[in-house]
Amino acid sequence: MPPGGDWYTEEWAGQGSAISLKLARKLHDEQSPYQRIEIFETATFGRLMTLDGLVMVTDRDNFVYHEMMSHPALYTHDRPRRLLIIGGGDCGTLREVLKHDEVEHVDQVELDERVTRVSEQFFPELCAANTDARAHLHFQDGIRWVKEVAPASYDVIIVDSTDPVGPAAGLFGPAFYADCHRALKPEGLIVGQSESPLFHVDLIQAMHTHLRAADFLDVATLSFPQCTYPSGWWSATLARKDATLAGFREEDCRDRPFATRYYNDGIHRAAFAAPEFLFKALL
Amino acid sequence: MPPGGDWYTEEWAGQGSAISLKLARKLHDEQSPYQRIEIFETATFGRLMTLDGLVMVTDRDNFVYHEMMSHPALYTHDRPRRLLIIGGGDCGTLREVLKHDEVEHVDQVELDERVTRVSEQFFPELCAANTDARAHLHFQDGIRWVKEVAPASYDVIIVDSTDPVGPAAGLFGPAFYADCHRALKPEGLIVGQSESPLFHVDLIQAMHTHLRAADFLDVATLSFPQCTYPSGWWSATLARKDATLAGFREEDCRDRPFATRYYNDGIHRAAFAAPEFLFKALL
């Protein structure tokens, strides 16, 4: 029997399972042109943002996701200067990448400006870098942005998207990856969130296939715990143009001039270890 | 609002969060002398066993836990011949350790015989090794067993227990660890489940303190995803007598003569990587 009282529950689509967070009160509720945005104060996870009823971010556990979407890619690249974030409306990924002094310019292309404005209000710490002169916020369709941007514009592209349904579905497809390949400089990297290793192996397999078809030389998936996402276990898939993903700037990572809570050099190496079932699925 | 219809829900104690699994039907319900044992057929996780309302095992995700409670410890030890499992009533850990040809004798000491008998009925694949001539099932108090067993009886002790409340609380305390230290042979290892890195850092810290106080030379925590346990992220803490935990029989691990679904040599190394917050908590 589900818990009584005032709880937020997300049923994990098609997985016969659900997570619930105990609520203190609702802080915000709006229908943007794209989706319903709700903010809650929870009992033990701090603030919670949901989009169309799905958990996007909580104060308590977002650090793992945002660090793992940012630092492994940036420390793999020799000198990440120009970055593109697709999605990322809560701005937590933007904050992480701007901790890297090498980064000179970040375009963040989020479809729904309201997600960012609401985040600025309710998750000010995630949005602390929004006023950084290197951050350029654009509110438009990321798929179109990548199609139209000049070739070799970026060192790293981060696809910090919602699930591969609705407007985000195109962010997991071959045409989008081909455009990303074109938009990346030589030895450029793309990293995209790639759902749960327990629930969505098919999606991870498809991403590998599509990324290789788009001429990326190397593709690899890393994983990390993420309590409030489906199955509590999440992944990101990286691909690199003209170079492998093996190795990273270990010394820079160990000497990083900023604090992390999940990521470090040991975690960097560890995150890429594939569980046996995933290793076999990706052969 | 929690999901409607027929769901099993476990509220994660003190954490303002809960997981729910959609049920097909209840298969079994009994009150043993120690606890309430329920078996359900779920919609997507296969069979589920709960003890006093807490998830112990599901068909779908138990492989991660059972492999990680077994193989890292056994491949760290040079030649694990005599083993003790405390708890482990579902017999999934017993099955994993008996995949190692070096193992000659396993004592499994579970307080509640009914857990094992019910598992034999509803989780026959987890109990497939119960009739192995090397397996010796004892139904009694594990704390007392360790106190009374001859010194230097075991190469590896596995504490596959429930949460550190009620009868299992003593399995996390200094007196028990001192008895385990005495019961282990030189270079012997203990591994115990140590709850969630996200929710229970205090417990992991206390285990490290108690294990060192019991004269174990080296202590380390590994972690792994475990969808149906609190926070979806779980850990095991290892300690070794008279030797370090660094290194393992990598070649034997790669050439292992049995199948695994989660564990492999890359996962062995990766699992010991401490997230930054845990690394700092254990300094």
Q: What are phi and psi of A247, to 5 degrees?
A: 80, 160
Structure tokens at B21: 């699994």
- Partners of residue A20 in chain B, C-beta under 8 Å: 2, 9, 11, 17-20
ipTM above 0.85, yes or no: yes
- Smallest CA–CA distance, residue B42 to chain A, in Å, is 8
Torsion of CA A95, A237, B272, A252, to 10 degrees: -50
pLDDT value for A117: 98
Question: What average pLDDT does range A197-201 have in this prediction?
Answer: 98
The residue from B90, B107, B155, B160 that is catalytic is: B160
Task: Tell me the per-residue pLDDT of A13-40, one tens digit each, with 9 for 90 and over.
Answer: 899 999 999 999 999 999 999 999 999 9
Beta strands in B67-216 (DSSP E): 82-87, 105-109, 135-138, 154-160, 184-193
Say if CB A223 and CB A171 are below 8 A apart: no
Between CA B274 and CA B67 the distance in angstroms is: 19
pTM listed for this prediction: 0.97
Question: What average pLDDT does range A210-222 have in this prediction?
Answer: 97
Strand B17-31 to A17-31 pairing:
antiparallel
The residue among B58, B227, B235, B283 with the most chain A CBs within 10 A of its CB, best to mutate, is B227
pLDDT value for B1: 41
Second CATH level (architecture) for the domain A7-58: Roll (2.30)
Amino acid making up residue B20: S
Question: What average pLDDT does range B179-196 have in this prediction?
Answer: 98
- pLDDT band of residue A167 (cuts 50, 70, 90) is confident
Identify the three-state secondary structure at position B109.
Answer: strand
Which CA distances in Å does A4 have to A8, B2, B10, B18, B249? 11, 8, 12, 11, 50
Q: Which own/partner pairs from B207-210 qualify as long-range (CB within 8 Å, at least 24 positions apart)?
A: B207/B172, B207/B237, B208/B237, B208/B282, B210/B172, B210/B173, B210/B174, B210/B177
What percent of chain B has pLDDT above 90? 95
* Closest alpha carbon within chain A to B197: A225
Partner residue facing A7 (CB), from B2, B264, B274: B2
Question: What average pLDDT does range A225-250 have in this prediction?
Answer: 97
Between CA B108 and CA B83 the distance in angstroms is: 8
Strand A135-138 to B233-240 pairing:
unpaired
pLDDT value for B166: 83
Q: What is the DSSP letter of A60?
A: T
Euclidean distance between the first and the last CA atom of chain B, given in angstroms as a whole number: 41
Between CA A154 and CA A86 the distance in angstroms is: 12
Between CA A2 and CA A10 the distance in angstroms is: 12
Between CA A151 and CA B8 the distance in angstroms is: 52
Question: What average pLDDT does range A196-223 have in this prediction?
Answer: 97
- pLDDT band of residue A5 (cuts 50, 70, 90) is low
- The topology under which CATH files domain B62-281 is Rossmann fold (3.40.50)
Side by side, the strands of the sheet bearing A233-240 are A135-138, A105-109, A82-87, A154-160, A184-193, A233-240, A218-225
pLDDT value for B137: 98
Q: Count of alpha carbons within 13 Å of B10, Cβ hemisphere only?
A: 21
What percent of chain A has pLDDT above 70? 98
Is the pLDDT reported for residue B156 higher than 70?
yes
pLDDT value for B5: 64
Beta strands in A113-254 (DSSP E): 135-138, 154-160, 184-193, 218-225, 233-240
pLDDT value for A2: 45
Amino acid making up residue B256: R
Euclidean distance between the first and the last CA atom of chain A, given in angstroms as a whole number: 41
Amino acid making up residue B166: G
Say if CB A181 and CB A84 are below 8 A apart: no
Domain ranges for chain B, please list them.
7-58, 62-281
Task: Tell me the per-residue pLDDT of A96-150, one tens digit each, with 9 for 90 and over.
Answer: 999 999 999 999 999 999 999 999 999 999 999 999 999 999 999 999 999 999 9
The answer for residues whose C-beta is within 8 angstroms of residue A131's C-beta and 6 or more apart is none
pLDDT value for B18: 97
The residue from A160, A163, A179, A265 that is catalytic is: A160
Is the pLDDT reported for residue A1 higher than 60?
no
Task: Tell me the per-residue pLDDT of B90-141, one tens digit each, with 9 for 90 and over.
Answer: 999 999 999 999 999 999 999 999 999 999 999 999 999 999 999 999 999 9
Note if A52 is an active site residue: no
Mean pLDDT, chain A, integer: 96
pLDDT value for B102: 97
Put simply, the answer to whether B227 touches A198 (Cβ < 8 Å) is yes
Place of tokens 């569980």: A275
- Smallest CA–CA distance, residue A105 to chain B, in Å, is 28
Q: What is the DSSP letter of A260?
A: -
Put simply, the answer to whether B1 touches A7 (Cβ < 8 Å) is yes
- Partners of residue B16 in chain A, C-beta under 8 Å: 21-22, 42-45
What percent of chain B has pLDDT above 70? 98
Identify the three-state secondary structure at position B24.
Answer: strand
Put simply, the answer to whether A223 touches B223 (Cβ < 8 Å) is no
Put simply, the answer to whether B22 touches A7 (Cβ < 8 Å) is no
* Closest alpha carbon within chain A to B42: A16
Partner residue facing B227 (CB), from A1, A232, A264: A232
Between CA A157 and CA A188 the distance in angstroms is: 8
pLDDT value for B167: 78
